[in-house]
């Protein structure tokens, strides 16, 4: 019975990334950074990472957490999924319309956690039990074509006009390269860097973005898989 339930969850989750009719993300309420992150203030802290301790690991962890959906009834959409690697940890999160993956150099016990983040600190409570996190690699398209690079450096949503203009330029560049509009928040939540864009041959299919780190070893770069906005016929 447990195996059937797990398979059902995986199929349902994978379908959101492969359905010919893309989900409409255009009506989502734009949330600020703090509101988009699951809070666990009352739970004991089992792991904590500060910006000063490891800026790159902190930035990657914050990027992954932004894909959590704190309001979802599906528990797996609200957690940070952690897998230990040989050199550190792999972090994964999804809200059903996007998937964020990144690796950090710090080892965290494998499991599923509710994250709590403030400006310069990210904390994790105790790992949750009985969370059936889907087989996330199945949501990453295997056959894609690189469409170019978008630049998100010094971009953002807010009161800073120059940052907002740069984000708008990056969004327009993304649409030109892919032919697909996406929720602007999805680009805003990426690390402020350059990102390579990969598309599938068919329209309304999941799009992959990989951060261009400039390092020789680029196999474990932060990765995002996002669904385009459904367009009216």
CATH number at residue 106: 3.10.150
Of 101, 134, 167, the residue at which a domain comes to its end is 134
Q: How do 121-124 and 145-151 pair as beta strands?
A: unpaired
- For residue 159, the model assigns a pLDDT of 82
Is the pLDDT confidence value at 36 over 60? Answer: no
Report the pLDDT value the prediction gives residue 71, as an integer from 0 to 100: 87
pLDDT in tens, 124-177: 999 999 999 999 999 999 999 999 999 999 999 988 999 999 999 999 999 999
Percent of the chain topping pLDDT 70 = 78
Q: Is the pLDDT of residue 22 over 70?
A: no
Q: Are residues 102 and 174 in the same domain?
A: no
Residue 169 resides in a domain: yes
* Cα–Cα dist 196/223, whole Å: 10
User: Which of residues 39 and 113 earns the better pLDDT score?
Assistant: 113
The overall average pLDDT reported for the chain is: 84
Looking at the predicted structure, is the pLDDT value of residue 119 above 90?
Answer: no
Question: Within this chain, do residues 47 and 127 fall inside the same structural domain, yes or no?
Answer: yes
- Position 5 in a domain: no
Number of domains in the chain: 2
Which pLDDT band, with edges at 50, 70 and 90, does 31 fall under? Answer: very low
pLDDT over 90 (residue 91): yes
Q: Do 124 and 148 sit in the same domain of this protein?
A: no
Q: For residue 222, what pLDDT is reported? A: 96
What's the DSSP call for residue 29? P
> Are 31 and 61 in the same domain?
yes
Q: How confident is the model at residue 20 (pLDDT cuts 50, 70, 90)?
A: very low
pLDDT, one tens digit per residue, over 186-212 is: 999 999 999 999 999 988 999 999 999
- The residue with greater pLDDT, 35 or 15, is 15
Specify the DSSP class assigned to residue 52. T
For the stretch 123-158, what's the b/e string if a residue is b when 16 or more beta carbons lie within 10 angstroms of its beta carbon? bbbebbeeebbbebeebebeebeebeebebeebebe
Residue 52 shares a structural domain with residue 79: yes
pTM (predicted TM-score): 0.81
Residue 31 CA to residue 44 CA, distance in Å, equals: 26
Q: How much of the chain, in percent, has pLDDT values that exceed 90?
A: 69
| Cα–Cα distances in angstroms (integers) from residue 47 to residues 6, 50, 58, 68, 116, in the given order | 28, 10, 12, 18, 10
Domain that holds residue 118: 21-134
Residues 121 and 65 in one domain: yes
Same domain flag for 83 and 29: yes
Please give the pLDDT value at position 203. Answer: 87
Is residue 98 exposed (0-12), middle (13-18) or buried (19+ Cβ within 10 Å)? buried
């Amino acid at each position: 019975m447990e195996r059937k339930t797990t398979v059902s969850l995986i199929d349902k989750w994978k379908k959101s990334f492969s359905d010919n009719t893309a989900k409409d993300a255009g009506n989502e309420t734009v949330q600020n950074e703090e509101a988009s992150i699951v809070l666990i203030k009352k739970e004991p802290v089992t792991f904590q990472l500060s910006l000063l301790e490891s800026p790159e690991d902190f930035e990657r962890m914050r990027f992954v957490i932004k894909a959590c959906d704190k309001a979802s009834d599906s528990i797996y959409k609200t957690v940070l999924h952690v897998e230990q690697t040989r050199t550190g940890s792999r972090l994964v999160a999804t809200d059903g319309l996007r998937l964020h993956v990144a690796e950090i150099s710090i080892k965290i016990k494998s499991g599923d956690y509710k994250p709590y983040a403030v400006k310069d600190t990210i904390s994790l409570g105790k790992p949750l039990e009985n969370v059936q996190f889907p087989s996330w690699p199945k949501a990453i398209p295997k056959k894609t074509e690189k469409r170019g690079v978008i630049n998100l450096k010094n971009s953002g949503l807010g009161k800073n006009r120059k940052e907002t203009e740069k984000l708008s330029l990056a969004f327009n560049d993304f649409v030109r390269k892919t032919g697909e509009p996406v929720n602007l928040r999805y680009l805003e939540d990426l690390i402020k860097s350059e990102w390579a864009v990969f598309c599938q041959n068919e329209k309304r299919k999941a799009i992959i973005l990989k951060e261009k780190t400039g390092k020789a070893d680029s196999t474990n770069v932060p990765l995002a898989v996002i669904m385009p906005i459904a367009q009216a016929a």
